[in-house]
Amino acid sequence: MGTDRVVAERYRLGARLGRGGMGTVWAATDELLHRTVAVKELHLADGEQRALREARGLARIRHPNVVLVYDVVEQDGRPWIVMELVDGRSLAEVLREDGPLPPREAARVGAAVAGALLAAHEHGIQHRDVKPANVLLDRTTGRVVLTDFGIARVPGSDTVSETGAFVGSPEYTAPERMDPNQAAGPESDLWSLGALLCAAVEGHSPFRGESVAEIVHAVAFADIRPPEAVGPLLPVVRGLLERDPARRMAAADVRTVLVAYAEAGIEPPTPPTVPAVPKARAGGGERAQRGAGRRRRILAGLAVVVLVAVVAGGTAALVVLRGSDGDRGGQAATAPPATTASPSPAATTPTPTASPLPAGFRTVTDKHGWSVALPDGWVRQEVPPRVYYWSADHAFRFGQRIQPPGKGTAYDVMHGQDVAARGPKPPYQGYRDGVVTRTTQNGADAALWEFTYDGFADGKGARRTFDLCWVQDGRMYDVWLSGPLDRTEETRSLFDTARRTFTP
C-alpha cells in the first residue's frame, strides 16, 4: 500500500513496510537530499518520549551493524523517526523463507550483533529485544544491522517498562528479566543473542512452546539443550545461555571467537569453567526456599508476560527493510567456503584454494615483485615503505608493506597495534570496534585486525579496515583494505579477494 503524504514538508511516504502495536514503518523519499529513507510513525500516547529516547540512543552509537537515525520530526501531532532504509530482509524472514543458516554464516551474523551490542553497552544502552525480527540482512552487501531500539534502556531517559511491566519477546528474554526482584543488566542482551544463534541454525528459538507459560518455564527452569545444529558454535551458545548473568560470556569475547570462525574457520574453543560467585552459607532448606520463592515470583509475573507478549509480537512488523517475497537472487544468507578447522584458538587453517577472479578484476603485478587481484582502474601510489592502490572514486584503498620480522608473532604485532590505537595518542582518530583474531596465510601463522576509525581528513566519514599480517620466508607481510563504513561488506569482499590472490 502506497501513499503520497509528505511528512515535515520533506519526506514523501511510499510503501508501508510494516505495522505493529507501537508504530508503522514506511519507505519514503527525502525530497531535500534525494535519497530513500525509512520513516517510523509512533502510535502510542507517549510516542514523542519514545521517539526521542530511541533516536537519542541510536545517535550515540556509531557502529556498522547498528541502524542509522537521521532525524526526528512531528507531523499531525505524532512523532516520526527518520532512519536509513536497509534493502533486505530480517533474519526472521530469511529463516522462514529460506530455512536455517549454516553455522559459519550464523557466526557471521552473531559476530555482527555482538559488535553492535558491545557498542551499545559501552554507551550504557541495553537493547532488550534482540531477536531475528530485529536483525536485518542487506540484500546486496550482506551487511547485518541491529534495529528497533524502541524498548531499549537509555541512560537519562524513562524506559518503556519502568512501571514494572514486562516488555519483550519471551522466547528471547533472559531469565533475570522475568524475575521482578532481580536486576537485569546488559548481560540480558547476551542471553538473547545465544537464543538467536540457536534460532539461526535451527529455525526457531530453543525455548519455543505452545503457550507463554511453557516458554517462561523453559527459559527460567527447564534443562537448556541447544540444538545439534549449532555444531562448532556450541561453546558460545553454552556461554551465552548461562542463567547466572555473572557467568555469561562477554560481548567482546563472543565477537572475537565468532569472527575467527566466520572469517577463518577457527572453531570457538571450549571456555574454562567460570567459578560461581561465593554466596553466604545456607542450609539446603533455605536454598530450596529461595529457589521456590524465585519460581513463585516469576510465575506471579506470568500474567504480565501474557499481556505484553501480544504487543511484543506486534513489534516484529516494525522492521526497516524493503524487498519482495519472490526475489531470491539477492539472498544475503550465503555460507562462506568451508575450511578445515581446529578447536584451538591458536590453530591454523589452510588458505582457500585458487579460484577464478570475480568479474571486473585483474591481477596487478607490482614493480616490487608481488601481485594481487584488484578491480580494473585502481591507481597506484607509493609512500615508502607502503604501497597503495586506490579505487577510481577514492572510496577504497588497498595497502601493502614488507618489513623485517619484529619481536613476537604476527598476532603479537597486531595485538600491540590494537592496544596502541586505544591509548591516549591513537594513530587512528576515533578508533573503535577493533578485534584481532588468529588465522593463517599461505600456511603461516597470521593475524587479522578489523577496526573502524573516523576516516581521512577529506570529510567523507568513518571507514572500516581489514588488516592481515604474517611472516613468510624471513619477511613480515602486512596487507590491508579500507572503505567507507556504510560499505563495510563491500570492503570485506574486496579484502577477501585481495587476501586470496596475494602472491609475495
Q: Cell 565477537 sits at which residue?
A: 255
The pLDDT of residue 51 is 61
99 plus 76 within the same structural domain:
no
Q: What are phi and psi of 181, to 5 degrees?
A: -95, 5
C-alpha grid cell, residue 162: 519502568
Residue 55 lies in a domain: yes
Residue 70 lies in a domain: yes
Under the banding of pLDDT at 50, 70 and 90, the label for residue 152 is low
Report whether 73 contacts 7 (CB < 8 A). Answer: yes
**pLDDT (tens digit, 9 = 90+) per residue, 3-58?**
678 999 999 999 988 776 667 889 999 999 999 999 988 776 555 566 666 676 67
Q: Which of 4, 30, 87, 129 is catalytic?
A: 129
Model pTM above 0.75: no
**pLDDT (tens digit, 9 = 90+) per residue, 74-108?**
888 778 889 889 888 999 999 999 999 999 999 99
Neighbours of 457 (CB within 10 A): 7
Type of residue at 40: K
The pLDDT of residue 328 is 25
Residue 439 lies in a domain: yes
Residue 342 lies in a domain: no
C-alpha grid cell, residue 396: 577504497
Residue 346 lies in a domain: no
Residue 403 lies in a domain: yes
Look up the CATH number of the domain holding residue 427.
3.40.1000.10
Sheet holding 144-146, edge to edge: 88-90, 135-138, 144-146
Residue 438 CA to residue 458 CA, distance in Å, equals 33
157 plus 253 within the same structural domain:
yes
**What is the DSSP track for 234-267?**
HHHHHHHS-SSGGGSPPHHHHHHHHHHHHHH--P
**What is the DSSP track for 290-320?**
HHHHHHHHHHHTHHHHHHHHHHHHHGGG---
pLDDT for residue 60 is more than 90: no
pLDDT for residue 281 is more than 60: no
- Across residues 373-394, what is the average pLDDT? 95
Q: Cell 540457536 sits at which residue?
A: 198
Parent domain of 31: 6-84
Under the banding of pLDDT at 50, 70 and 90, the label for residue 291 is low
Question: Which of 133-137, 158-162, 327-331, 405-409 is modeled with the greatest confidence?
Answer: 133-137
160 plus 173 within the same structural domain:
yes
79 plus 119 within the same structural domain:
no
Residue 339 lies in a domain: no
Look up the CATH number of the domain holding residue 63.
3.30.200.20
The residues, any chain, with a CB within 8 Å of residue 448's CB and separated by 6 or more, are 259, 263, 264, 414, 436, 437, 438, 439, 466, 467, 468
Look up the CATH number of the domain holding residue 184.
1.10.510.10
Under the banding of pLDDT at 50, 70 and 90, the label for residue 349 is very low
149 plus 251 within the same structural domain:
yes
175 plus 68 within the same structural domain:
no
- By three-state DSSP, how is residue 114 classified? helix
- Cα distance from N-terminal residue to C-terminal residue, the chain: 56
**Boundary of a domain, candidates 54, 84, 114:** 84
300 plus 443 within the same structural domain:
no
136 plus 47 within the same structural domain:
no
Under the banding of pLDDT at 50, 70 and 90, the label for residue 407 is confident
What is the tally of structural domains in the chain? Answer: 3
Residue 421 lies in a domain: yes
**Boundary of a domain, candidates 84, 103, 124:** 84
- The yes-or-no answer on residue 98 being catalytic is no
**Boundary of a domain, candidates 84, 105, 139:** 84
92 plus 70 within the same structural domain:
no
Under the banding of pLDDT at 50, 70 and 90, the label for residue 296 is low
**Percent of the chain at pLDDT exceeding 90:** 46
25 plus 137 within the same structural domain:
no
Buried/exposed code over 367-378 (b: 16+ C-beta within 10 A; e: otherwise):
eeebebbbbeeb
Residue 19 CA to residue 316 CA, distance in Å, equals 8
Q: Which residue has the higher pLDDT, 23 or 310?
A: 23
431 plus 367 within the same structural domain:
yes
Under the banding of pLDDT at 50, 70 and 90, the label for residue 212 is confident
- Across residues 444-472, what is the average pLDDT? 91
pLDDT for residue 391 is more than 90: yes
Residue 352 CA to residue 365 CA, distance in Å, equals 21
429 plus 452 within the same structural domain:
yes
